[in-house]
Structure 1
Amino acid sequence: MENSPPATATDFDVTADWHVAAPYEFLRRLRHERPVFRSEHLGAYVLTRHEDVRAAYGDAKRFSSEGSLTISRSLADETRKVLGDQGSFLSSFVANVDPPTHTRLRRSVSRAFTPRAVTAMEELFRRLNEDILDRVAPRGEADFVTELGHVPSAKLSARFIGVPEEDEEFVKEHVKDWFMLFLSPQPPDRQLVLARSFLTYLDYVDKLVAARAAEPRDDFTSLMTGLIGTELSHREVVELISTILLGGNDTVPNQLGNSVLRLLRENAWPLPPELLRNAVEECMRIDGSSLGSFRYALDDVDLPGGEGEPVTIPRGSLVLLSTDSAAHDETVFPGPETFDLGRPNSDAHMTFGYGIHFCVGAALARLQLRTALEVLGERLPGLRLVPGQTIAYRRSIVGRGLPSLFVEW
């Protein structure tokens, strides 16, 4: 595993394994010496202190989300040509816009994430986990990521959105390409393959939206298509659905894999029921599946740098709000590299964002993580890592996830 020592690093490097696997010593030095850091590698300023990250999330007048997820700027020219208008994909997604557009979109999406609706999904998700374990448990071993962790979450997302069961595998594979194209460094030839896959995926979602508009069913897509022409546009619905499927097929299962790895390494498996809730928060804090979010500075922004001297972030600059660093800020989390199931403020992490852009699906994600860990602990109390395996994370700009994790019981 390529792991250039962070102690010698002078900038981020998304092509190096340590960027995702072990950035914490580097981030600690930034917090102490250059908390407002200009990264040439990322082409962005990076905020690393918990206080600054939280303040920026809450300050839409100075730190804009407009276009912050449109990462086609990192793509080769030929890839951009293939994508065409879709190079600005997510331009109308709720996490990628400012008020008043954000207020309108979030109000619409929130209708599907009421506490009652989220609670109603718990039993379905529990059953999906049990079904997978019924098939896999007798074998005594598995790749946790591909065979246990991702499948129930992907199926729950598909049922919620209204994706037919026969299309679930298609969606899963194309969502993986979606992630790799926009959020992971890829050579130009590979970008073109992923771009064509992405366009195929968008075409599928577009047709799903049209089908539900013509014949509504009891699912999220139908609920959203019912708002087309009054509250939402067709494209906004396509982008909402595409991105929610990303969360269910990637972000949430990535967090589950990270959490299981952490719990096994810490000899904390299985979890007692009374520790489940806090364990989920501490796992998200110490091994978050999201490394941060980008914003654009709408004006010159002055912030205290190392030793208090002011640093000016020029208007128009791209800014990374490093939730990964904020979650390891020792002024908020004493002994941040220590995994502490009794930590009283574990939930002060910002893996789900903060302020008006706090993830609308956070309650459902937390429910999924708690339920999966509970069922897995009950069914596989002897779960352990297969010895001798190399554990490496996917290379990514702002995500943390494992491509594989071999376990036995």
Structure 2
Amino acid sequence: MTGDIEDFDVSSDWHVADPYDFLRRLRHERPVFRSEHLGAYVLTRYPDVRAAYGDPRRFSSEGSLTISRSLTRETREKLGEHGSFLSSFVANVDPPDHTRLRRSVSKAFTPRAVAAMEQEFRRLNEDLLDRLEPRKSADFVGEIGHEPSIKLTARFIGVPESDEAFVQAHVKDWFQLFLSPQPPRRQLELADSFLTYLDYVDRLVASRAKDPRDDFTSLMTSLIGAELTHREVVELISTILLGGNDTVPNQLGNTVLRLLREGAWPVPPDLVANAAEECMRIDGASLGSFRYAVTDILLHGVTIPAGALVLLSTDSAAHDESVFPEPERFLIDRPNAAEHLVFGYGIHFCVGAALGRLQLRTALDVLGRRLPDLRLVPGAPVAHRKSIVGRGLTSLAVEW
């Protein structure tokens, strides 16, 4: 990356793979930056990002996840009411709706429930490696990093095993449609896929209403009418499936790549938890969150006008020198690594954070023990997919 870049560019490789020189310059020179490419103001300093997360009265979440401004008119017409999908998801609303939705979702994410999933996730990783270990090589992204998380999430939600591949494919299409730039014809193809996915989740909710089981969908469906609406339940389930099928596996891929490049593999068991946090800090799967300015906001001499879109750059905040000394340096025992903002902060702190952390730690533990000589395939390309707010690898060739 050269030092003359003047704006974000989602279509460029550096935007996700190596934005740090650019972000450092923004923190030092333009901490409140108006990005023409994103159509948003960008906050880049840790204290400002953290404060904005904690101030929903000035930085509203309402509608902030519906990042569909790049869609063509034809695509919007095809989506119809679903062009504003996620409009009632817990991370996309403010109190009092947020308070009500989070209270309902939290019933399924108790410490006991999360801990109970650890052994299941460990077994899923062991089973996968039983099959793959004799091969001595694999694409980490396509063959190792995703499957255990996909299966754990499916069982948590109540998705039949026979439907796991269907859900994964359509979740990938959803991500591309709303959070990655696409040409007009491809948008229409992805819109068809997205509507098919919504119909599937809608039918899953309807089936659990008639035949409840011991899963998240049944628990949430039982709250329809009393605490939640049908649409809210569909959106909750759809978004949790996104996290398990996409965000958590992406973070694991980023983490393994970092550890291998740093010569830190396998991680000593007593350092796994902190290593996971440092990898989330330095290579977070989430690049930030959008908010809307409720009123005119004056910050560092710049007025963010009411109604403007604002990107809270957690990626930049995690590399803020005032909080993390030598931020580009990987320190496996960094004492404050967990102060990153990958899971957000305040009332919108990710409800699934404990489960995500558990999955990352468990995967590193199992993989490090089973594949202690894991290494990158020499000369194999490393590429990140293009995205507005997410960091993930398209593939990662490894051998052992």
Q: Structure 2 length as normaliser, TM-score?
A: 1.00
Residue type at the aligned position of 2:97: T
CA distance in 2, matches of 1:224, 1:376: 34
Unaligned 5+ runs, structure 1: 305-309
- Among residues 178, 185, 198, which one is paired with 1:202 in the alignment? 198
Q: Secondary structure of the residue that 2:320 maps to in structure 1? A: coil
Answering whether residue 56 of structure 2 is matched by residue 56 of structure 1, we say no
* Aligned partner of 1:279 among 275, 282, 289: 275
Query: Residue 388 of structure 1 is aligned with which of 379, 396, 400?
Result: 379
Flag as ranges the 4+ runs of structure 1 deviating above 4 A.
none
Residue 295 (1) aligns with residue 272 (2): no
Tell whether 2:209 aligns with 1:218: no
1:363 to 345, 348, 354: 354
The structure 1 residue matched to 2:314, chosen from 323, 344, 347, is 323
User: What SS does the aligned partner of 1:46 have?
Assistant: strand
Match of residue 93 from structure 1? 89
1:265 is the counterpart of 2:261: yes
- The answer (yes or no) to whether the contact 2:124–2:148 under 8 Å persists in 1 is yes
Shift of 1:72: 1.8
Distance 2:60 2:210 in 1: 36
CA distance in 2, matches of 1:325, 1:261: 20
Q: CA deviation at 1:390?
A: 1.0
Q: Secondary structure at the match of 2:383?
A: coil
Is the 2:286–2:389 Cα contact (8 Å) retained in structure 1? yes
CA RMSD, aligned part only? Answer: 0.5
- 1:33-182, aligned counterparts within 5 Å? 33-182=29-178
Aligned to 1:332: 323
SS in structure 2 opposite 1:237? helix
Which amino acid letter does the alignment assign opposite residue 162 of structure 1? G
After superposition, what is the alpha-carbon deviation per residue over 1:201-259, rounded to whole angstroms, capped at 9, x for unaligned?
A: 00000000000011100000000000000000000000000000000000000000000
Percent identity for Structure 1 against Structure 2: 78
- Give 1:8 shift: 1.1
Q: Is the 8 A contact 1:12 1:41 kept in 2?
A: yes
Point out where structure 2 has 5 or more consecutive residues left out of the alignment: none
SS of 2:34's partner is strand
Correspondence list, 1:18-33, <5 A = 18-33=14-29
Q: What are the residue-to-residue correspondences of 1:225-264 with 2, within 5 Å?
A: 225-264=221-260
Assess if the C-alpha contact under 8 Å between 1:296 and 1:318 holds in 2.
yes
Cα deviation, 1:116-141, whole Å, max 9, x if unaligned, reads: 00000000000000010000010000
Aligned length: 400
Distance 2:68 2:52 in 1: 23
User: Is this contact kept in 2: 1:270–1:377, CA < 8 A?
Assistant: yes
Could you tell me which of 336, 345, 348 is aligned with 2:339?
348
C-alpha displacement of 1:6: 4.1
* CA distance in structure 2 between the aligned counterparts of 1:376 and 1:67, rounded to whole angstroms: 39
Amino acid aligned to 1:108: S
Which residue does the alignment assign to 1:188? 184
Q: Secondary structure at the match of 2:384?
A: coil
- Aligned to 1:190, what secondary structure does the other structure show? helix
